[in-house]
Amino acid sequence: MPTTTSSSSSSAASSSSGNRQADVFSRLASSDPEVKLKALREVKNQIIGNRTKKLSFLKLGAVPAIASALADADDSDECNNILVQSAAALGSFACGFEAGVQAVLDAGVFPHLLRLLTNPDEKVVDAGARSLRMIFQSNLAPKYDFLQEKNMEFLFSLLNSENENVSGLGASIIAHACGTSVEQRLLCDAGVLEKLVILLDGSLSQREACLESLATVLKNNPEAVSHFVGLEAGRYLSSVTEFTKDRYPRTRLLSCLCLVVIYNTSPSYFLNMGTKSSLITTLLELLNEPGQSGDDAALGFSCLIADKEDLQKLAYEADAVKNIVDILKTDSELHPKRLQGLFLSLAELCSKLEDCRCSFLSLQVLDLLINALRHKNADVRTAACICFRNAARSVKNLSAGRLSQEHVMLPLV
């Protein structure tokens, strides 16, 4: 019986995998440095990009064991490889995996990772900085108090570092920890914009961290936007604009999001219609990108066109409605964040322009809306409701009874 054989094989494979993981885990506590080092490498290599294996090792208690290996290793040359592999493994657990971030923080590794930044070996410093950046990409990251002078001094020491991972870490801390206008003002008064723009000329990782940080510092901050635009007679604004044409999708996205922040904060700096059209076109292209870039592009696009009839007209002319609906009609399961952004974008497009409403409703989207109204994610349901409300402003379609049918109205109720 094929089904039984297949099931037995699957069970055996799963058991074998679990045994291997348990074996690796047991070797993490070995007193032999070479055995421990090999185990650290194996864990790191197994979990990179694999959420299932991350979860399996979490259940085994691998993170506290790796944290112990990191804490026990001193700064001598003999321990450098263990420091590097421990930090790399912890960073891999934290990368895009909130349960991993929580486990890493619960294991108390934060001060030990900070310690690595002052190690004389550049590889150790790199590993520590990369791991900390993974942590600071999460909302679970420790709150960074910019009001404390020692913290501000430490932040600027990171930004001033010649090590690209360390300076990138400084930018990442700003991007994910600066959340109030008071913190924005403190950073700007301390000269953070002048430090950040230097990273625009740096490596790919520095550039992307810088773009994300700039968007955070400039958001709803007209004084900071004015200062940024004035730096070197607008050179850095031109650089950010040019990055929207970069070959790397993530760089294109982050530069677009930075420009969206600048435009929403100070529209007077975007009088050029060509710049607006280019921004819309680039974000529409990025909607098709896999993973986080596509998810963020959807929300970024909705923020760009919100309450702006001129941009909504440009987006309509760029066939935005059809492009978005085509994405929603794909068979692949979309992340809730992307669904939210796509429906909010459609809601904005339908908010003012009858042409957009008619175009949207002509694409046989009612089933898509109904499914979204029943989605398990509250943000998706809310976005779908807003979309439905704005589309329902179409007198033509209301009078035709297309939006008042029972199977459409029930999910709303």
Confidence of residue 397 (pLDDT cuts 50, 70, 90): low
pLDDT reading at 359 higher than 80: yes
How far is the C-alpha of 139 from the C-alpha of 129, rounded, in Å?
18
Residue 64 belongs to a domain? yes
- Average pLDDT value for the chain: 89
CB-facing half-sphere around the CA of 75: CA atoms within 13 A = 13
Q: Are residues 288 and 392 in the same domain?
A: yes
Last residue of a domain, one of 111, 142, 173: 142
pLDDT at site 6: 52
Q: Are residues 403 and 295 in the same domain?
A: yes
Q: Are residues 155 and 245 in the same domain?
A: yes
How far is the C-alpha of 26 from the C-alpha of 165, rounded, in Å?
32
Q: What's the farthest any 2 CA atoms get from each other in the chain? A: 79
Please state, for a pLDDT cut of 90, what percent of the chain lies above it: 75
Q: Are residues 352 and 379 in the same domain?
A: yes
Residue 3 belongs to a domain? no
Please give the average per-residue pLDDT across 47-76, as a whole number.
91
Residue 34 belongs to a domain? yes
pLDDT at site 404: 54
Least confident of 143-152, 352-361, 396-405: 396-405
Here the CATH number for the domain that contains residue 40 is 1.25.10.10
Last residue of a domain, one of 86, 109, 142: 142
Q: Are residues 323 and 231 in the same domain?
A: no
- pTM of the predicted protein model: 0.86
List the alpha helices (DSSP H) in 97-163. Answer: 98-106, 110-116, 122-136, 149-159
Q: Are residues 398 and 277 in the same domain?
A: yes
Please give the average per-residue pLDDT across 291-318, as a whole number.
96
Residue 12 belongs to a domain? no
Q: Are residues 302 and 404 in the same domain?
A: yes
How far is the C-alpha of 348 from the C-alpha of 255, rounded, in Å?
22
What's the gap between Cα 79 and its chain centre? 33
pLDDT reading at 22 higher than 90: no
Q: Are residues 244 and 327 in the same domain?
A: no
How far is the C-alpha of 252 from the C-alpha of 62, rounded, in Å?
37
Q: Residue 159: which of 235, 101, 102, 217 has the closest Cα?
A: 217
pLDDT reading at 15 higher than 60: no
Please give the average per-residue pLDDT across 113-135, as a whole number.
95
Q: In this structure, are residues 90 and 63 in contact, taking their beta carbons and an 8 Å threshold?
A: yes
Residue 10 belongs to a domain? no
Single-letter code of the amino acid located at 93: F
Q: Are residues 24 and 74 in the same domain?
A: yes
Instruction: For 204, list phi and psi in degrees, rounded to 5.
Output: -60, -45
Q: Are residues 104 and 174 in the same domain?
A: no
Least confident of 74-78, 89-93, 248-252, 316-320: 74-78
Residue 158 belongs to a domain? yes
Q: Are residues 171 and 134 in the same domain?
A: no
Enclosing domain of residue 253: 147-263
How far is the C-alpha of 312 from the C-alpha of 344, rounded, in Å?
13
Report the domain count for the chain. Answer: 3
pLDDT at site 12: 46
Q: Are residues 174 and 127 in the same domain?
A: no
pLDDT at site 280: 97
Last residue of a domain, one of 142, 165, 191: 142
How do residues 182-238 score in pLDDT, each as one tens digit? 999 999 999 999 999 999 999 999 999 999 999 999 999 999 999 999 999 999 999
Residue 244 belongs to a domain? yes
Residue 6 belongs to a domain? no
